[in-house]
Chain A
Amino acid sequence: MNKTENNKAWLLVLPVFLLVAFSAIIPLMTVVNYSVQDIFDQNSAYFVGAEWYKEVLQDPRLHDSLLRQFIFSGSVLLIEIPLGILVALMMPTRGAMASLSLILLAIPLLIPWNVVGTIWQIFGRADIGLFGWGLNSLGIDYNYASNPMDAWFTVLLMDVWHWTSLVALLCYSGLRAIPEAFYQAARIDRASKWAIFRFIQLPRLKNVLIIGVLLRFMDSFMIYTEPFVLTGGGPGNSTTFLSQTLTQMAIGQFDLGPAAAFSLIYFLIVLLVSWLFFTTITHLDKRK
């Protein structure tokens, strides 16, 4: 098929470009400007060069929250991706039960972040929350407000509860797109369930899984509201992730310069990881 070249199409893209410029590029440029200055108020700002970057890069607070962030995002992916695949494989394929399970899975995704935090904050309490009370009744000493391990467990469980559905729904749509002929061929070959999963379903799920991993990584890497509402970053700093450290710096202490430098380092990490995922996806498509 012959493609026609028409550069007028660029004009149609212009409004989107302007919108992105105002919503993303100009604020980002402002953050770069802030990151090289010591800002006291709107009228007094002093150029300090790369000092804030040096300070932030050598700040143990950043190192600790970065480490916590990677552990959290890694754990989220390790749990949610296999669990999402498992849920999708077990879901009914047709009939009323299929619709019901789709609705049930979609419910956690519809709940706002701060409400999820509040739900789990109450649910996990030993005095009035069913989960906390239940664990303590079983003789397990559980208190997310004072024990860092319990706090981590609750934050992870909350994220798994909130977001595994997304992976499951993506995988479910991927599974439904596999033609029946593939399964018929597998039945003729007397393939085991594992062989069907390994050689038919999993390769066909590759693209949706990459999207799922990307979305879950990005979201979990930028998580703020849920742990903030649930634990407030505590006990101590044990569940303080990058966004919260940044917010404390920018809004709590009004250190706009270091916070801007911190934001840009954060942005560069997110940019690198997104680019790696994007490249993987596009190169997988090309190979096909």
Chain B
Amino acid sequence: MSWMAWTQTTAVFFGVIACMLIAMTVWELRCPSTERRGFLPIETSRGDRLFIGLLSSAYIHLMFLGLTELSLWIALAVSAVWLAIVLRWG
């Protein structure tokens, strides 16, 4: 595994994403989601909203890095709130 050049930070990052995917799979198996329309302009399932939330979170982080000098912890907090909003009301 050393050729993959792991660091603690990236291991935590992928670990969190893997946990999210496992949790979503278990949730889906126990209580299957149906597509619905929220504030997003399209009908989405739970998995779609997670993907939209994660992709937009990546862009939020890039915007913080490229346009501001603010800490990435703020970007992480904003992303977490945004992800929760998209998952609940998206």
Stretch at the interface among A30-38, A125-133, A140-148, A169-177: A30-38
**A36-B9, A47-B7 known; A53 vs B42 contact (CB < 8 Å):** no
In the complex, what's the smallest C-beta–C-beta distance from A124 to chain B, in angstroms? 38
CB < 8 Å neighbour of B66 from A37, A58, A268, A275: A58
Tell me if A57 and B5 are in contact (CB < 8 A): no
Docked-complex contact B66 and A54, CB < 8 angstroms: yes
Binary CB contact string for chain B from 1 to 28 against chain A (1 if under 8 A, 0 otherwise): 0011111011001100000000000000
- On whether A29 and B42 interact (CB within 8 A), knowing A57-B65, A57-B66, the answer reads no
Q: Is the beta-carbon distance between B10 and A32 smaller than 8 angstroms? A: yes
Cα-based distance from A42 to B51 in the complex (angstroms): 34
Interface on chain B toward A: helix, strand, loop, or mixed SS? helix
Inter-subunit contact A271/B10 (CB<8 Å) = no
**A29:B4 contact, CB within 8 angstroms:** yes
Q: Is A3 an interface residue (CB 8 A)?
A: no
A-B contact count (CB 8 A): 51
Q: Is A160 in contact with chain B by the CB < 8 A criterion?
A: no
B62 within 8 A of A: yes
Are A29 and B62 CB-contacts (below 8 A) given A36-B9, A47-B7, A271-B55?
no
Q: Count of chain B residues with Cβ under 8 Å from any Cβ of A?
A: 19
* Residues of chain B lying within 8 A (CB to CB) of residue A37: 5, 7
Chain A: how many interface residues by the 8 Å CB criterion? Answer: 26
Q: Is the CB of B65 within 8 A of A275?
A: no
Is B81 in contact with chain A by the CB < 8 A criterion?
no
**Can you list 16 A-B contacts (CB < 8 A)?**
A29-B10, A30-B4, A33-B6, A36-B10, A37-B5, A45-B5, A47-B9, A50-B72, A54-B65, A57-B65, A58-B66, A265-B62, A271-B55, A272-B59, A283-B42, A283-B43
Contacts A32-B10, A33-B10, A36-B9 supplied; 15 other A-B pairs, CB < 8 Å: A29-B10, A32-B13, A32-B14, A33-B5, A34-B5, A37-B7, A39-B5, A42-B3, A45-B5, A47-B7, A57-B66, A268-B58, A272-B59, A275-B55, A286-B43
